[in-house]
Amino acid sequence: MKPRRYDGLLLIAALLVCWQIVYLRVGADVVSSPADTIRRATTLLLTRNFWTDAASTGVAFAYACLIGIAGGMVLGLVLGLSRFAADVADPILGSVYSIPKITLYPIILLLFGLSPAAKIAFGVIHGIFPVAISTMNAVRNVAPVYRRTAEALRLSPSHTIMKVLAPAALPEIFAGVRIGIAVTLLGILIAELFASSSGIGYALIRATEIHNVVDTFALTLLLFLFAVAINALLQFAERRIRHQT
């Protein structure tokens, strides 16, 4: 148990050392040093502009997660309950999931215009498929004994879903939700990087365009930390769920 505590520190130290070496080799006009970046990141956290951008990204992220997870679960549940529907949908969902969504952003922009809605829609098309696929597979993989027991007990369909299928399928569904949330964030940020008028991604691409290396690195660092924090939280939740069931 003991060395585990130092694992995180070790990783951070290794990354910082690599970063510093790259910085020393290529120089400050390409890479900003770890110390400068961290200093800039802390000052950014005190500015109003940063929080306006963060709020814009955060709101879009929250909406996209809600829509993507809810939509994906409903879709996956409906398809997973019928073997036939699941067999029909499986390769279709897989193909759609494997499409690089980035190619679809011009279409989304043409549909929604340069608005927060475009950002959210782009996040949703990233997140909805992993959730749908994992929900579908989770429901499909529920041991037949559970279903038969539910039938023998003459549970109503809604009871079967709420009391039997959902708890049994939850761990696998949550694994999909975790991926879904991660790719939703990716989608939102891609959208902001390419074309938008607000958000952290927008601030980042602006900084890159005017070759403000320190800001670029500081914003990337903050985004990275945010993503890591969210991921850690979700992993923690996933472990809790796995232990419970």
Partner 1 sequence: MRGLRLSKVGLTRVAVVGGAVAALEILCRSGVIPRATMIPPIEMVAAMWQILRSGRANSDIAFTVVNLFAAVVLSVVVGFGLGAVLHALPRARRVSEPLLSAYYAVPVFIFYPLLIVAFGVGRTALIVMGATFGVVAMVVNTMTGLDRVPKAITRTAAVMRLDPVRRLLLLRLPAASPHLMTGVKLAVAYSVIGIVAGEFILATAGIGKRIAFGYQDFDNRMMYGMLLLLLVLVVAVNGALSYWEKRLHQRFGLQ
Note the residues at the interface with partner 1 (CB under 8 A).
3-4, 7-8, 10-11, 14-15, 26, 30-31, 84, 87-89, 91-92, 94-95, 98-107, 109-111, 179, 181-183, 185-186, 189-190, 193-194, 201, 204, 208, 216, 220, 223-224, 227-228, 230-232, 235
Q: Least CB distance from residue 160 to partner 1, whole Å?
A: 24
CB of 230 to partner 1, least distance (A): 7
CA-wise closest residue to 104 among 191, 185, 176, 183: 191
CB of 60 to partner 1, least distance (A): 14
Q: How far is the CB of 88 from partner 1 (least distance, A)?
A: 5
Residue with Cβ nearer partner 1 (59 or 193) = 193
Nearer of residues 66 and 186 to partner 1, judged by Cβ: 186
Cα-to-chain-centroid distance, residue 220: 16
* Nearer CB in complex with partner 1: 64/150: 64
Angle at 233 between CA 191 and CA 179, to 5 degrees: 45
Three-class SS state of 64: helix
* Cβ pair 71, 130 in contact under 8 A: no
Q: How far is the CB of 92 from partner 1 (least distance, A)?
A: 6
Instruction: Please tell me the distance from the alpha carbon of residue 203 to that of residue 229, in angstroms, as a whole number.
Output: 21
CB within 8 Å of 80: residues ≥ 6 apart = 86, 135, 136, 137, 138, 139, 140
